[in-house]
Amino acid sequence: MLKGQLITLDEFTIQETRKFPQATGELSSLLRDIALAGKLINKQVRKAGLSDILGAQGTSNIQGEEQMKLDVLADETLIHVLKNSTDCAGIASEENDDHVCFEDTVSTNSKYVVLFDPLDGSSNIDVNASIGTIFSIYRRVSPIGQPCTIEDFLQPGNKLMAAGYIIYGSSTMMVYATKLGVNGFTLEPSIGEFCLSHPNMKCPENGKIYSLNQGNTVKYSAGLKAYLEYCMESNKAEGRPYSHRYIGSMVGDLHRTLIKGGIFMYPADSSSPNGKLRLQYECNPMTFIVQAAGGTGSTGTMDVLDVQPTELHQRVPIYIGSKNMVAKAIAMAHAPETV
Ligand code: AHG
Ligand code: MN
Ligand code: MN
């Protein structure tokens, strides 16, 4: 049974645009294009076991990671849709070495660029667990009327206009944030529309779940090990021990964190001083979303959104989720005597 009146993503973004008389509707139109790419990727994901798209592509991306067939397919789909969009001047993708500037007249006259992780959680593709697409939208800093430039893509997260993700889980959802807040839309498959299902999402200030790859503990700092001990300690009044959940798909783990509260971490360790996750494709968009919902995201030493990117594929450590849990984790993991 459907609840109440259905509001589609398009209707919602148009209503939001009307709150700003000077808005041109270009951002709504771009979100519609990204939603279209999401629906096309969703179509492939839903029949993945039946068609020949499971498994490895046989190639590596710039970060030396093995590409799955679905990584490549999702990447091609987003590029195709955004190239045809009337509102995108260029893109940068986790799966490609360099950014791409679209050089046709419509694109050079567009004011936005889009960055994306086309398929997040690749290791989950073959086992039918949640995967996702993460996107970021920046207003370009290069002059309109000319092709975009690398500077458009190296803006800090605090300059984001919007960011979001599409999660291909037990249902398919698109969640996007602007500075106005975070809203979630569930794909109604029979009409092929994302419909508002999670208005004004808020990340609880506290939670009871911690999420990280605990198999790496041997490589963590003494402070972080102490925090993990704290998570596992029994303290009824504070609701500990916390539960541990880790899907291995940032989108999946953070979607849960956004709804239920908790903390997600991909910290630095002795072999990866910058952690694993990518600033421009994963950490910035997810931090923007979580902060717009009242949570927070930090590298351990600074707000993720304040990191000035110096190259497209750089990595940063991340602690993200419920405000109070992130503060506690950082206080322990980055205490001067334990780092
Ligand atoms: P991607 O599939 O886009 O390469 O990202 C995978 C990321 C992230 O989604 C997840 O949280 C993390 O890698 C898992 O890494 P580990 O297997 O090292 O825990
Ligand atoms: Mn990813
Ligand atoms: Mn990916």
Evaluate: CB of 276 within 6 angstroms of ligand 1: yes
- Rounded to the nearest integer, the mean pLDDT of the chain is 95
DSSP 282: I
pLDDT tens by residue, 181-192:
999 999 999 999
The per-residue pLDDT for 30 is 97
Tell me the backbone φ, ψ of residue 300, rounded to 5 degrees: 110, -30
Confidence band of 3 (pLDDT split at 50, 70, 90) = low
**Residue ranges matching CATH 3.30.540.10 in the chain:** 9-198
How far, in Å, is the centroid of ligand 3 from the Cα of 75?
A: 9
Mean pLDDT value of segment 146-152: 98
Dihedral of CA 266/324/260/280: which sign? Answer: negative
Confidence band of 54 (pLDDT split at 50, 70, 90) = confident
The ligand 1 atom nearest the CA atom of 281: 3
For strands 181-188 and 172-178, give the pairing.
antiparallel
- H or E stretch including 330? helix 323-333
Q: Examine the pLDDT at 143 and tell me if it is beyond 90.
A: yes
Task: Give the residue from 187, 245, 220, 204 showing the smallest Cα distance to 339.
Answer: 220
The per-residue pLDDT for 53 is 76
Evaluate: CB of 44 within 6 angstroms of ligand 1: no
Task: Give the residue from 75, 73, 67 showing the smallest Cα distance to 117.
Answer: 75
pLDDT tens by residue, 80-126:
999 999 999 999 999 999 999 999 999 999 999 999 999 999 989 88
Mean pLDDT value of segment 142-165: 98
Mean pLDDT value of segment 308-316: 98
- Cβ-count burial of 215 within 10 angstroms (0-12 exposed, 13-18 middle, 19+ buried)? exposed
Evaluate: CB of 122 within 6 angstroms of ligand 1: yes
% the chain with pLDDT above 90: 85
Q: Answer yes or no: are the C-beta atoms of 13 and 27 closer than 8 Å.
A: yes
pLDDT tens by residue, 265-293:
999 999 999 999 999 999 999 999 999 99
Residue ID of nearest Cα to ligand 1 atom 15: 248
Mean pLDDT value of segment 8-24: 90
Q: Answer yes or no: are the C-beta atoms of 9 and 29 closer than 8 Å.
A: no
In terms of CATH, what superfamily is 9-198? Fructose-1,6-Bisphosphatase, subunit A, domain 1 (3.30.540.10)
Q: Answer yes or no: are the C-beta atoms of 318 and 278 closer than 8 Å.
A: no
% the chain with pLDDT above 70: 98
How far, in Å, is the centroid of ligand 1 from the Cα of 142?
A: 32
Q: Does domain 209-333 have CATH number 3.40.190.80?
A: yes
The per-residue pLDDT for 339 is 57
The per-residue pLDDT for 18 is 86
How far, in Å, is the centroid of ligand 1 from the Cα of 78?
A: 20
Length reported for the chain: 339
Evaluate: CB of 249 within 6 angstroms of ligand 1: yes
Dihedral of CA 140/142/144/148: which sign? Answer: negative
The per-residue pLDDT for 2 is 62
pLDDT tens by residue, 162-175:
999 999 999 999 99
Q: How many CB atoms lie within 10 A of CB 233?
A: 11
Evaluate: CB of 248 within 6 angstroms of ligand 1: yes
**Residue ranges matching CATH 3.40.190.80 in the chain:** 209-333
Evaluate: CB of 121 within 6 angstroms of ligand 1: yes
Q: Examine the pLDDT at 338 and tell me if it is beyond 70.
A: no
